[in-house]
Amino acid sequence: MATKTIQQILPPAPPHMVGDGFRVHNFFPSGYDMGETRMSPFFLLDYNSKIDFSPRDTPRGVGVHPHRGFETVTIAYHGKVAHHDSTGNSGVIGEGDVQWMSAAAGILHKEYHEEEYSKKGGPFQMVQLWVNLPAKDKMSTPKYQAISNSQMGKYQIPGDGGVIEVIAGSFKGVKGAATTFSPIEMYNIRIKKGASVSFELPASYNTGMLVVEGQVKVNDSETAPTDNFVLFGNEGESISVSGDEDSVLLVISGQPIGEPIFAYGPFLMNTKEEVQQAYDDFRHGKFGVLKD
């Protein structure tokens, strides 16, 4: 099986704040000029690299805001995020957990540092992805998947080399916990120094890998350090990774949706008219009610 080509290894773009609780590096669509569909079905990757927040009684975060037409996937590595939304869902995303929220037809939500974490402060590290929905699913009923670390499929790397947490899709027959609207593979690879693992993903899938911790060698050729993003080309299927250090990697891969995109603010639709309708529906209270 042919090796999947490495197109680029991208260092983190300069950070910016989202609200007062998330200091993020955007890898796409604005951090690097990839275009809005280069990583379809993934539209956005915001990475809050590891930082320490000081203790605070009033939690930092992002106030009430709407979404329509896509899903948000929040993955916690350090720290805790609390959230609630206009459909009545609420919860805490703890270390190792994932929140998979399908905004779909429209939702209001807010995200903020969990109260006890906020009072203590300490390391904070998160990823948030925006996953586009196919046109036929954009106006479906909002839903929410709270995926604890214990619910994820686990693949043990041979030779006590670490573990692969399967968030979505499957890894060597081990299935992930999330249900998706289009074909998606998403894994946390926790690999030990000196260990190696190889796997296959379809050549046609858009594929990337974020180095959350440590440093790895990819395809026995290129070194990817902490906080860098490996962008793979759409050639070949096989990827190999070896740990130069104990490392944590987030692998995202998916079948491109292949539809027009019109993105503006918190809405991700197919046409300008659909975004205008979303704003009109939001102004008329059709996304529900949520207090700031």
Domain 6-254 has CATH 3.20.20.70: no
Return the SS3 of 229.
strand
Return the SS3 of 279.
helix
CA separation for the pair 283, 37 (Å, rounded): 29
| Each residue's pLDDT tens digit, 118-132 | 999 999 999 999 999
Q: Are 149 and 80 in contact (CB under 8 A)?
A: no
> What is the DSSP secondary structure assignment for residue 137, as one 8-state letter?
G
CA separation for the pair 262, 269 (Å, rounded): 5
> Can the peptide bond before residue 41 be classed as cis, meaning omega within 30 degrees of 0?
yes
Task: Give, for all 292 residues of the chain, the pLDDT tens digit.
Answer: 899 999 999 999 999 999 999 999 999 999 998 889 999 999 999 999 999 999 999 999 999 999 999 999 999 999 999 999 999 889 999 999 999 999 999 999 999 999 999 999 999 999 999 999 999 999 999 999 999 999 999 999 999 999 999 999 999 999 999 999 999 999 999 999 999 999 999 999 999 999 999 999 999 999 999 999 999 999 999 999 999 999 999 999 999 999 999 999 999 999 999 999 999 999 999 999 887 6
- 126 token code pair: 């998160």
pTM of the complete model = 0.97
Of the candidates 151, 25, 135, which has an alpha carbon nearest to the alpha carbon of residue 100? 151
What does the domain layout of the chain look like in residue ranges? 6-254
